[in-house]
């Protein structure tokens, strides 16, 4: 018998209701496919790979607002093996957070596969994304500011973590 998977979504919560959501999506097996974090005058920044799969990811993040009515991307940052974003779903949206993330994963996976086939992107191991994603329902303005700060300072923590490993 397989072990029971941990439920990641809040039970009995409607993820299509008006709210802001902090989301983390990780690559499968934490493959570092989207660039390298390097020091910069403002702390740290993502340097794209030569053919920029991170730009492809950014294109699909920006496309979410066009695809899904009443969905807004507040902020995001693409890391080498994951991305963080704040997705705001406004009243009257017919889409849930799961719809948004599923569509994003599908579009980026297909685009990445095409990049691999054309020799532009590095191959990946079996899947582009992990099966699920992490989400946090943003509860108030302070929570929103803390999540924005976390996203924007994530590259600095990445550098600190990787420099400790060397």
Structural domains of the chain, ranges and CATH numbers in brackets: 19-165 (3.30.70.1290)
Q: What percent of the chain has pLDDT over 90?
A: 73
CB 15 within 8 A of CB 96: yes
Of the candidates 131, 125, 137, which has an alpha carbon nearest to the alpha carbon of residue 13?
137
The pLDDT of residue 166 is above 80: no
Please tell me whether the overall predicted TM-score, pTM, comes out greater than 0.85 for this model: yes
Task: Report pLDDT for 13.
Answer: 77
Distance CA 155, CA 44 (A): 5
Q: Where do the H-state alpha helices sit in 30-140?
A: 53-67, 97-117
Strand partners, 36: 47
The stretch 99-123 carries a mean pLDDT of 96
Strand, helix or coil at 114? helix
**Which tokens in the block code for residue 108?**
């980026």
DSSP symbol at 12 = T
pLDDT of residue 98: 95
Question: What pLDDT, on a 0 to 100 scale, did the predictor assign at position 3?
Answer: 57
């Amino acid at each position: 018998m397989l072990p029971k998977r941990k439920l990641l979504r809040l039970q009995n919560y409607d993820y299509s209701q008006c709210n802001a959501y902090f989301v983390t999506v990780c690559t499968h097996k934490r493959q570092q496919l989207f660039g390298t974090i390097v020091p910069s005058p403002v702390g740290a920044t993502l340097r794209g790979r030569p053919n920029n799969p991170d730009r492809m990811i950014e294109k699909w993040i920006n496309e979410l607002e066009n695809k899904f009515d009443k969905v807004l991307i507040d902020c995001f940052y693409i890391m080498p093996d994951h991305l963080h974003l704040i997705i705001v779903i406004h009243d009257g949206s017919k889409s849930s957070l799961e719809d948004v993330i599923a569509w994003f994963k599908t579009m980026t996976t297909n685009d990445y596969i095409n990049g691999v086939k054309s020799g532009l992107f590095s191959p990946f191991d079996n899947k582009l994304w992990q099966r699920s994603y992490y989400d946090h329902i943003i509860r108030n303005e302070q929570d929103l500011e803390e999540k924005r700060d976390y996203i924007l300072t994530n590259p600095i923590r990445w550098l600190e973590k990787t420099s400790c490993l060397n």
